[in-house]
Amino acid sequence: MLKLSTVGLLLALNVMTVQAADKTPVLLYRYVDNKGGIVLDRQGVPPEYVGKGYQVLNERGRVIQVVPPAPTAEEIQRQQADKAKADANAQLLHLYSSVSDVDRAKTRKLAELDALIAVAQGNLQGLISQQSTLQGQAAAQERAGRVVPQPLLDQMNSLRDDQQSLRAEVERYQDSRKQAEADFAIDRVRVQQLQH
């Protein structure tokens, strides 16, 4: 029989009391290493293996938590694309509650663009008319044997430049109109799909 001193006895009792009071469960971490081997570790999962995913087991060897592998770059990209699509769909449904809303918005937008085209074309016709008048004046000067005054030539050149700008503006508006028609057609189909 082993005899313990008073101090030794107190120490042993103290250790036993701490062990009894410490009911912290023993956990094991199961992961796969670089060689494909399954590792059980009480200390945790080394940082280089965490991204591959792992399992946490209790003292009886039962899985109590599964930590999935980190997503791949392709999975992250797909998730971001899915989120962007969901956000776009939500925004679209916020704008249009029905297909008829899309049709009304399209009608308004095309009417607005048609009005801008009409104004620009009207302005262009006005410039063409002014150009014609100035050309008549220049022709009259030449028929009379006089030199066409420089201010008249400058004015005609300026009108020609303004006409080119207006033609480009009309073309931009017409392109915008075509684009708007295409965009509204896409929105109409998407709203129809999202509502069914």
Q: What is the pLDDT of residue 175?
A: 97
Read off the pLDDT of residues 56-97 as tens digits, 9 standing for 90 and up: 999 888 999 999 999 988 999 999 999 999 999 999 999 999
Structural domain spans, the chain: 97-194
Provide the pLDDT confidence category of residue 166 given band limits of 50, 70 and 90: very high
Beta carbons of 190 and 89 less than 8 angstroms apart: yes
How many residues are recorded in the chain? Answer: 196
Do 58 and 25 contact (CB within 8 A), yes or no?
yes
How many other CB atoms are found less than 10 A from the CB of residue 11?
Answer: 12
Task: Tell me whether residue 140 is exposed, middle or buried, using C-beta atoms within 10 angstroms of its C-beta: 0 to 12, 13 to 18, 19 or more.
Answer: exposed
Show the DSSP H helices in the chain as ranges: 6-21, 47-50, 73-95, 99-143, 150-194
Bridging pattern class, strands 38-41 and 28-32:
antiparallel
> Is pLDDT at 167 greater than 50 in this prediction?
yes
Q: Which residues pair with 55 in a beta bridge?
A: 30, 66
Contact 40, 28 (CB under 8 A): yes
* Residue 26: closest CA among 44, 47, 46, 53: 44
Confidence band of 135 (pLDDT split at 50, 70, 90)? very high
- Report if pTM > 0.75: no
Q: How far is CA 81 from the centre of its chain?
A: 8
**CB count in 10 Å sphere of residue 113:** 19
Alpha-carbon distance of 25 to 22, in angstroms, equals 9
